[in-house]
């Protein structure tokens, strides 16, 4: 099989279609595929938006990129909230420990 420059997108589409079909025919695997596709679509939007900005179509590229980032932030909110809380706790502890060293 010869690998050309344009074959990468074809392979990605074949794999994505296979995963979607596998999710439809297997009920247990379908739940996992639904979550996976839910994360892949915003990531694909970010990549397409970045590609659009790089190729010169700035308005369309920025719109798609910002929408993809917002959707991905919404999907990852279950992770961002606790990480922000842990960061605030660590920052507060470090501020308290810095005061003790100054004396």
Residue 68 burial by Cβ neighbours in a 10 Å radius (0-12, 13-18, 19+): buried
Neighbours of 69 (CB within 10 A): 14
- CA 84: distance to chain centroid? 18
Model pTM? 0.61
pLDDT tens per residue, range 28-54:
666 777 788 889 889 999 999 999 999
Alpha carbon distance 33, 36 (integer Å): 5
Q: What pLDDT digit, counting tens, does each position of 52-73 carry?
A: 999 888 888 999 999 999 999 9
């Amino acid at each position: 099989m010869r690998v050309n420059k344009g074959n990468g997108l074809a392979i990605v589409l074949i794999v994505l279609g296979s995963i979607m079909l596998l999710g439809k025919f297997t009920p247990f695997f379908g739940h996992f595929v639904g979550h996976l596709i839910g994360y892949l679509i915003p990531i694909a939007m970010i990549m397409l938006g970045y590609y659009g900005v790089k190729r010169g179509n700035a308005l369309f590229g920025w719109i798609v990129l910002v929408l993809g980032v917002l959707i991905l932030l919404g999907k990852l909110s279950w992770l961002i909230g606790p990480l922000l809380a842990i960061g605030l706790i660590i920052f507060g502890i470090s501020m308290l420990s810095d005061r003790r060293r100054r004396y």
